[in-house]
Amino acid sequence: MKIVFCLILYSSVCVAGLSQNISYDLAAIPDSLKKNANVVVQFENQVFTVSDIDNASLHVRSIYTVVNEDGKYALRFSEHTTKFIELNDVELKVYDAFGKLISKHKKKEMVTQAFGEGLVDDGYVTSFSVNASNFPVTIDLSYEMKYKGTLFYPPFHIVYPEMSVLHSSYTAKVPSSLDLRYKEKNIKLQPETKDDGKTKTYTWRVQNLVPMQHEDGGAEYNDRYPVIEFAPNKFSIYGYTGDLSSWQQYGVWIKQLYNGLDALPDERKAFFADLVKNATSDREKIRLIYEYLQKNFRYVSIQLGIGGFKPFSAKFTDEKKYGDCKGLSNYMKAALNSVGIQSNLAIINAGYNSIPVDPGFPHQGFNHVILCVPQKQDSIWLECTSSTIDFAELSTFTENRYALLITENGGVLVPTPASKPNSNVQSTVTTIRLKEDGSADTETIFRSKGEFKEVMNGILRSKLDEQKEGIVLGLSFKQPDNFEFTKREDPGTFVTGLKMEIEKVPDFTAGSKIFLSQRIYKIWNRKLPRSENRKLDYYFRFPFELSDTTIYVLPEGYKTDALPPAKEFKTAFSSYTAKSWYDEAKKSVYTSVQIILKQHVIPAAKYGEVKKFFDDILVNDGQKIVVKKE
């Protein structure tokens, strides 16, 4: 069944003909399949047919019941099309709780809208939402997709959380001379096969699948649930034929798309030669050109030509001063080549919680392009779409996975750098000049690196009201009455400063005692999902180092009454230290804390330990500083 939260550019669709009687009455469905289900798939049959290397189609017939409000996402039909992907006529029937037909809908009633960023026509989305005020509601959906190209074989998404399946099948029919390859993910399910010499047929079937429990914080949706993925051996897309039976051969195909597009005019070659003339090493030359790219070019999303694979020429990008990931990476490659430095384009599956592609299953699982500059020691990786990421750093969007380097001899699959805690650092020092009436003037200095630098840069570039929202909601600071957020000059380090006036700093008072939080912001404020019976690994966005020193300068005549005790605890994946003290000479209370997360993927079996670790942080950070008047 195709549901809108499957973020894929190809679709699950439908065939006619039922092999069994279907009741549109939810009462006829076994109780075991209704328990804990928001959606029940009663019948689904998908048939994917490859006619030849240039053409394919997908038909689906899907009958499913939306049991309650929580399943209403399945009431929205949505399909992406281009001039190479066609949506044929759609028939959607809606039945009430007793199996009575409420309404019928065709494609002509649906809304088709162009999407893209305005510079280039990216394609269209055809969508329709069923209005339902009462549940359950049963949908009987049929439609067909036509593909002018065979690079993408649509997967068989079997089941999602809080969804049960009475019967579902997927059949793939391909010419025997082409065949296909498949990979099971999160399920063991072998197909029935037959081969008549002309056509090879594979059929996967499932039935009576009870609902899985939803778990927050897992891998991306397309990676965490049962699915059968498919890949061609030989393919054609928009008239370009290729071989996907190996990564090396796929790289050969990618390379030929870029041939001749990395040439620059002589005057631009001269410009780059002059730009790096005083550089003492190749690394410095690469940095100078990369920083020029960051300052003078902007990223736009462009899907043009053959499915977003072939970039504009380096000359075009140079003239327009904008490009998408492949265009900017190709331009950077051309600029480096003009000063005698060789580099390789690298295609990659970008995403914060993406699982790396399987080295043993060559397929088109990529959605982004970066650049790799081989060196005698470590390679230099460049994210050419960002105006703020530091030189020779990748974001967590592309770390910890495989990239396909496009070399002279084809594709080579290589790992990108692994995320490290010291790549993502936020260090703060806050001085709070507390007044007797509970108000205060505060100043916080942030030293940021990696993902935290990106966050602080985003706040810095925002409008004043958006800055305040970022400070209070994003960084969890107390609500200021007045504030000033600025960039501080500090060569080699990204430093920002926040000055605030706060009307009331204490949490509460009791007699002569004032109770203060250890900080005026939450260094950690997330309550992690429950750990009982967890089946999926838990994904933080990235590993990190957080540290804070907060200084309360007390009003005249005040002293400490109680301070939180020092704490230290750790797991194999994390550590926490906190302490506080009073400096009599400066009449100031100090607190310091450090949190380190060593890796961002926590195995399901160890998640309970890490959850307890962060729960303990929330408890310990809730302890108060108590001061009183002498």
Instruction: Please say which residue of 237, 258, 291 terminates a domain.
Output: 237
In this predicted structure, the answer to whether residue 307 has a pLDDT above a threshold of 70 is: no
Instruction: Please report the pLDDT score of residue 10 as a whole number.
Output: 30
Distances (CA, A) of 77 to 67, 143, 434, 497, 537: 17, 11, 57, 48, 30
408 lies in the same domain as 427 = no
- Of residues 312 and 12, the one with the higher pLDDT is 312
What would the mean pLDDT of 379-387 be, rounded to a whole number? Answer: 95
In this predicted structure, the answer to whether residue 120 has a pLDDT above a threshold of 50 is: no
Identify whether 175 is part of a domain. yes
In this predicted structure, the answer to whether residue 15 has a pLDDT above a threshold of 50 is: no
Share of the chain above pLDDT 70, in %: 94
CA proximity to 329, closest of 276, 277, 376, 366: 366
Identify whether 251 is part of a domain. no
Cis peptide before 362 (omega within 30 of 0): no
Q: What is the pLDDT of residues 225-280, one digit of tens each?
A: 999 999 999 999 888 899 999 999 999 999 999 999 999 999 999 999 999 999 99
Identify whether 164 is part of a domain. yes
Q: How confident is the model at residue 45 (pLDDT cuts 50, 70, 90)?
A: very high
In this predicted structure, the answer to whether residue 547 has a pLDDT above a threshold of 80 is: yes
Identify whether 538 is part of a domain. yes
- Of residues 388 and 201, the one with the higher pLDDT is 201
574 lies in the same domain as 527 = yes
Phi, psi (5° rounding) for residue 295? -80, -25
321 lies in the same domain as 365 = yes
196 lies in the same domain as 90 = yes
Instruction: Please report the pLDDT score of residue 5 as a whole number.
Output: 31
Instruction: Please say which residue of 216, 237, 258 terminates a domain.
Output: 237
369 lies in the same domain as 274 = yes
Identify whether 246 is part of a domain. no
Domain extent, residue 604, equals: 422-629
Residue 622, domain CATH: 2.60.120.1130
323 lies in the same domain as 371 = yes
99 lies in the same domain as 194 = yes
Q: What is the pLDDT of residues 482-498, one digit of tens each?
A: 999 999 988 778 999 99
Q: Confirm if 72 and 78 have CB atoms less than 8 A apart.
A: no
Q: Count other Cβ atoms within 10 Å, centred on residue 520.
A: 20
428 lies in the same domain as 407 = no
Identify whether 12 is part of a domain. no
547 lies in the same domain as 513 = yes
186 lies in the same domain as 323 = no
Q: How confident is the model at residue 82 (pLDDT cuts 50, 70, 90)?
A: confident
User: What's the number of domains the chain is made of?
Assistant: 3
What would the mean pLDDT of 331-359 be, rounded to a whole number? Answer: 95
Instruction: Please report the pLDDT score of residue 21 as a whole number.
Output: 58
Residue 188, domain CATH: 2.60.40.3140
Question: What's the whole-number average pLDDT of the chain?
Answer: 91
Beta-ladder partners of 315? none
Identify whether 11 is part of a domain. no
CA proximity to 581, closest of 601, 598, 566, 602: 566
Cβ-based neighbours of 618, under 8 Å, separated by 6 or more: 524, 525, 527
Residue 362, domain CATH: 3.10.620.30
Rg value, the chain, Cα: 29
Instruction: Please say which residue of 219, 237, 255 terminates a domain.
Output: 237
123 lies in the same domain as 162 = yes
48 lies in the same domain as 178 = yes
Identify whether 396 is part of a domain. yes
